[in-house]
Chains A and B, each alone.
Chain A
Amino acid sequence: MTPNAPITIAGAAVHLAAHRQTARNAGLGDRDVLAADFEGYVEIPTSPAGRQPSPVEQLAYPAAIAALKLAECDPGDVDLVIYAWSHDQGPGVPLPHARLGRLLGAERAVTLGVQQMSGGGAAALEIASALLTASSHNYTTALIATADIFGTDPRRRWVEQASKGFLLGDGGTCAVVCSGTRRPAPLTVTALASSGRPGTELHTLFSFDPATPMPGLEDQPSLRRYIPAMRQCVSEAVTQALTASGLAPGDPRIRLVAFTRLGRTVLRRVYYPALPAGLPDPLALTAHTGHLGAGDIIANLAHIQDELLLAPGDYALLVSVAMGFAATAAVIQAPERTTATMGRVPDPAARGASRLR
């Protein structure tokens, strides 16, 4: 979709779980440690063992408070809360989206829950953008958030799940998305596009849920069978979003590409070949968070905002992939007149975000 009115990211924030787990301090064997190194995993945030997990309260809420502060937005002004998650939100939290709205004091907000696995954050952004610009609604300020806590077994994360190409980290993310120009607007949403291939659903029979056994390698359907469809999804979403933004892949104003925070092998062998030639090499953003479930695209927005990676007029391409299979591409721009970044010509690779191919 191309928003028919300005959609801005007024503020975005990430709140990671307090503990940092590495392959070494998690007690893995040498071969698993080497595999983690090769995949580009340095550390992941994890929640303390022994507590009842409540991702909304522990992670999404503080991320939302930080995002609202950046957006100079009172919680009472939020009229739409969209919360996405990947698995269990803890006992007694049947409606985590409503829980977040209540905790924040967004007293008159409509709250929505999105369960789209890794694509949840992207779906929340797309839904928020559509509702904020829909003539049939009067929403002005949406808060989109995600949070997950993925269990306490290091081997499950670093070996079993990592054998699928992702290393899960515990974190909450939030962005305040607005229509109009009443609030700070460090980033604007130029276009959003999604593409789906539900025919690949059989490849996604496992879940992130700690209670669900992971299939053994011999039980996995052939990934090769689905790679063409997965790549087509990425290609379609990216092409649509770039076209809607009036951008060719080689346009020098596209300063960076930020992808879902997966391991190096899957990104390199499965997804990156689907990107049109001419784009900048994607940033490597996985190392210190792992895959934040639904939250990667919002975390990537926060990274771009915090590190001032875009000069005025520059664009970023954000790509989200999710089991199912679905891909979403978002084209983001730093507005032409942003005094905070005026005169700067930032280099994304010089600010702690290396390129990865």
Chain B
Amino acid sequence: MTPSGPSPTPFQDPPASPRVAETLCAMFTETLLVPVCPDDEIQYLATIDSLKLMRLITRIEDRFDLTLDDDRVFTASTVADIIQLVEHAPDSHP
């Protein structure tokens, strides 16, 4: 307990899974509070350059221990594009 109440548990990222798509969709859903699937267009979820989504991208990097190419992230149009970036990142550890 903290003086002002219980501490929230850290972000609960989904466990490691060979299904990168499932993991990423779960992370998008947890961040945006709406169900997200790979076909969803990012512009209808949030602006890709909003801090919320930039923070999510950074969380994805932490989760998969990789560095995503910023230019490609900013030009991604669907969640599936982000999934592809993660799956094909040279230092990816999904």
Chain A residues with CB under 8 Å of chain B are 24-25, 27, 30, 33-35, 37-39, 163-165, 217, 220, 222-224, 227, 263-266, 268-270, 273
Question: Are B49 and A34 within 8 A (Cβ)?
Answer: no
Count, chain B residues at interface, CB 8 A: 21
Interface residues of B in 5-43 (CB under 8 A from A): 5, 7-8, 10-11
Given contacts A224-B74, A227-B74, A273-B70, contact A35 B55 (CB under 8 A): yes
Complex Cα distance, B52 from A224, in Å, reads 14
Given contacts A34-B11, A37-B10, contact A223 B4 (CB under 8 A): no
Known: A34-B8, A217-B50. 16 other contacts (CB 8 A): A24-B5, A25-B2, A30-B8, A34-B10, A37-B10, A38-B55, A163-B52, A222-B47, A222-B49, A224-B74, A263-B51, A264-B58, A265-B51, A266-B54, A268-B58, A270-B54
In the complex, how many angstroms separate the beta carbon of B58 from the nearest chain A beta carbon?
5
In the complex, how many angstroms separate the beta carbon of B88 from the nearest chain A beta carbon?
19
Question: Are B8 and A164 within 8 A (Cβ)?
Answer: no
Number of A-B pairs whose CB atoms are under 8 Å? 55
Question: Are A38 and B59 within 8 A (Cβ)?
Answer: yes
Chain A facing B: main interface SS: helix
Question: Are B54 and A269 within 8 A (Cβ)?
Answer: yes
In the complex, how many angstroms separate the beta carbon of A114 from the nearest chain B beta carbon?
28
Question: Are B74 and A24 within 8 A (Cβ)?
Answer: no
Question: Are B49 and A223 within 8 A (Cβ)?
Answer: yes
Q: Which residues of the other chain, A, contact B3 by a CB distance below 8 angstroms?
A: 24-25
Complex Cα distance, B9 from A34, in Å, reads 8
Question: Are A224 and B55 within 8 A (Cβ)?
Answer: no
B57 within 8 A of partner (CB): yes
